[in-house]
Structure 1
Amino acid sequence: MTMRLFLTLKDMNWTDIHPCFEFYNATYIISHNPSILCVFIYIVLFCLCLATVCGNLLVIISIVYFKQLHIPTNYLILSLAVADLLVGVVVFPFSMAQTLTSCLYQETVFCKIRDCFDVTVSTSSILNLCCISIDRYYAICNPLTYKNTVTVRVAGVMIFMTWSVAAMIGISIIIGGHSQGTCDEMCLVDVVLTNVTGPILAFFTPAVLMICIYMKIFIVAQRQRNSIQISKGGVISKTERKATKTLAIVMGVFLLCMTPYFLCIVFLPLASETPPFSLIEALNWLTLSNSMLNPFIYAFFYSWFRSACKIIAFGQIFKSNLANTKLM
């Protein structure tokens, strides 16, 4: 995901290689007779890629097309869906082709481009979730001033800043020369910067921030629910509560998918042995699979998303103008 573990060929166990590779004359080459496991892996990853693209396209089309959904919260969800879509369109194919381009064993322009996209969309996802948590904080903790505080323009600025920061970090990967490829001569500074400082700044700090915000939201929501002195205008609507619950689940799933990989990165320098290649790849794909899960969460909790999906799936938006349709 954001930063692949630094590995060297001498650290790798010769028997612990990708099922699509074979070791021949001291080098790794693509197997001419791929194993059943190799074929199965690519079928599963292709299905994962397809589900990610289709699911997030439905989210994007729904929010863009139906005017009922043109609200600040949904624009932030739209930005997150764009990041997830780019994971399916760009990062997934690059990651699947990683074996064929030997990103594990050498550093090439292709591998650097892959890293740039990977880091950019990963950082964007994290920052988008931070923006969503801030939106939910104002919606629940300051319901009276929420609509005047978090406007469409404010949401637009948050989205612009999110993608700008993510792009700068992604480009810095290429400029700085830090890649997800191998590192034959690795100094302690590289290990600390890439395996410790990077994850702390790019993942753990935003994660702790989001957890603190949602804990505050939960406490305030419980307090207001039990209070009988709230004015009618300040009561949190059922819709806002449900949206907050759904987006908290999105954040929770995100953390469950991401945390194992980043913990692996942080503690790698302390390990006496290099983790198996299969474990590293499994954790990496667990992080990528998060981009597929969000549309399923929306489908489970949001009736408007299910209604929009039915209209889009049956092609009704091409037959007549349904932009003003009231989604239930």
Structure 2
Amino acid sequence: MAINPTVISVLLCMFYSCLSIVISCGNILVITSIFYFKQLHTPTNYLILSLAVADLFVGILICPFSMSLTEASCWYDERILCKIRGSFDLALSNSSILHLCCISVDRYYAVCQPLRYSAKINNNAVAIMILVSWSLSVLIGICVMIIGFQNDKCTESCSFDVQIAPTFGCILSFYFPAGVMLCIYLKILQVAQSQAHIIQKTTCPGTKTAITLSKTETKATKTLAIVMGVFLICWTPFFLCLTFQPVTKYAIPASAIETLSWLGRSNSMINPFVYAWFYSWFRTAFRILISGKLYKGYCRNSKLN
């Protein structure tokens, strides 16, 4: 039995609306928590905050654009909206992976070179990382919008196929930074395991603080590695699909590419739940914000654990 196109449009609009609300609310919690609570004012958390801003833009920009493009009929400036949505999509996905690269560098110094961490990773260094990540991402988005999409005329869907050579674009914006992150985290894992063996052999009572700090850094590294893993799981199918488009002579349906792109966008919804699940201080901060205790007293210096 054929489904009424109007019903499909309504269901898609409901889906985009729900996803937009969940993405926006989750990342607003992360951003507000890091801004407000002094305990969360650390270089690593500033990178997480900037990553949450990129995820928030997915909720407040990409979802509404997609909602406006659910109609199959052709209407004025639809192609321009397709360009804008596509450029935002690629800019924000590149921003996410560049932020994750910066976070992996932060974790490398925290675990592998702890004595140099405070000198190498400070607020100024993090500000430069954030500025470079956003600048490159915006530049990529502008280039994509200028070049335009493959479909020059109105079609039944807002195609995601870009005229840039897909393989080169995917290698530059996804595979290369993903490979760099994996190498860094493998090195971190190797060093963390070595440190764990050393700590187990240490019996001096005075090493309690060092052991606690090592466990904290290891937990933070594992959590952020999970964030990176979730990102790769969500976005790899989409970029693989784009990579093999030329090989298949663009035989992969636009609907399949669009579905995989939404799997990638779902990553913006998952990250806040990962932080809440693994970080006790984020859970406490979220609880204070959701319960409204923030408005009942001065909680800025509250101990979040």
TM-score, normalized by length of structure 1? 0.81
Is the 8 Å Cα contact of residues 56 and 84 (structure 1) preserved in structure 2? yes
Distance 2:78 2:14 in 1: 27
1:118 to 72, 89, 110: 89
Encode CA deviations 1:38-60: one digit per residue, 9 max, x unaligned.
Answer: 43333223211111000000000
Look up the match of 1:178: 148
Look up the match of 1:143: 114
Encode CA deviations 1:117-157: one digit per residue, 9 max, x unaligned.
Answer: 22221111110000000000110101122122211111111
The residue matched to 1:144 in structure 2 has which SS? helix
How far 1:194 moved relative to its partner?
A: 3.2
Encode CA deviations 1:72-119: one digit per residue, 9 max, x unaligned.
Answer: 000000000000000100011112222338699x87322222223222
Alignment of 1:169 with 2:165, yes or no, is no
Is the 8 Å Cα contact of residues 24 and 59 (structure 2) preserved in structure 1? yes
Question: Judging changes above 3 Å, is the alpha-carbon distance between structure 1 residues 121 and 101 closer, same or farther for their aligned structure 2 residues?
Answer: farther
1:239 to 216, 236, 246: 216
Distance 1:280 1:298 in 2: 29
The number of residue pairs the alignment matches comes to: 291
1:287 to 264, 274, 280: 264
Look up the match of 1:59: 30
249-258 or 114-123, which deviates more: 114-123
Is the 8 Å Cα contact of residues 29 and 286 (structure 2) preserved in structure 1? yes
Look up the match of 2:43: 72
Look up the match of 2:286: 309
How far 1:195 moved relative to its partner?
A: 1.5
The residue matched to 1:327 in structure 2 has which SS? coil
- Larger relative CO (CA 8 A, sep 6+): 1 or 2? 1
The residue matched to 2:300 in structure 1 has which SS? coil
Distance 1:287 1:52 in 2: 13
Distance 1:57 1:153 in 2: 24
Is the 8 Å Cα contact of residues 144 and 234 (structure 1) preserved in structure 2? no
Distance 1:155 1:77 in 2: 11
Q: Structure 1 unaligned segments of length 5 or more: list them.
A: 1-18, 21-30, 185-189
93-102 or 312-321, which deviates more: 93-102
Look up the match of 1:49: 20
Q: Percent identity?
A: 51
Q: What residue identity is the alignment partner of 2:266?
A: S
Q: What residue identity is the alignment partner of 2:252?
A: P
2:170 to 199, 202, 217: 199
Q: C-alpha root-mean-square deviation of aligned residues, in Å? A: 2.7
The residue matched to 1:84 in structure 2 has which SS? helix
TM-score, normalized by length of structure 2? 0.87
Is the 8 Å Cα contact of residues 37 and 300 (structure 2) preserved in structure 1? yes
Q: What residue identity is the alignment partner of 1:96?
A: M
Look up the match of 1:219: 190
Alignment of 1:265 with 2:242, yes or no, is yes
Encode CA deviations 1:251-276: one digit per residue, 9 max, x unaligned.
Answer: 00000000001101111111167223
Question: Judging changes above 3 Å, is the alpha-carbon distance between structure 1 residues 152 and 272 closer, same or farther for their aligned structure 2 residues?
Answer: closer
Distance 1:191 1:254 in 2: 22
How far 1:227 moved relative to its partner?
A: 2.3
Is the 8 Å Cα contact of residues 140 and 221 (structure 1) preserved in structure 2? yes
Is the 8 Å Cα contact of residues 191 and 269 (structure 1) preserved in structure 2? no
Distance 1:102 1:80 in 2: 35
139-148 or 229-238, which deviates more: 229-238
Q: What residue identity is the alignment partner of 1:219?
A: Q
Question: Judging changes above 3 Å, is the alpha-carbon distance between structure 1 residues 192 and 111 closer, same or farther for their aligned structure 2 residues?
Answer: closer
Q: What residue identity is the alignment partner of 2:185?
A: Y
Q: What residue identity is the alignment partner of 1:306?
A: R
Look up the match of 1:12: none
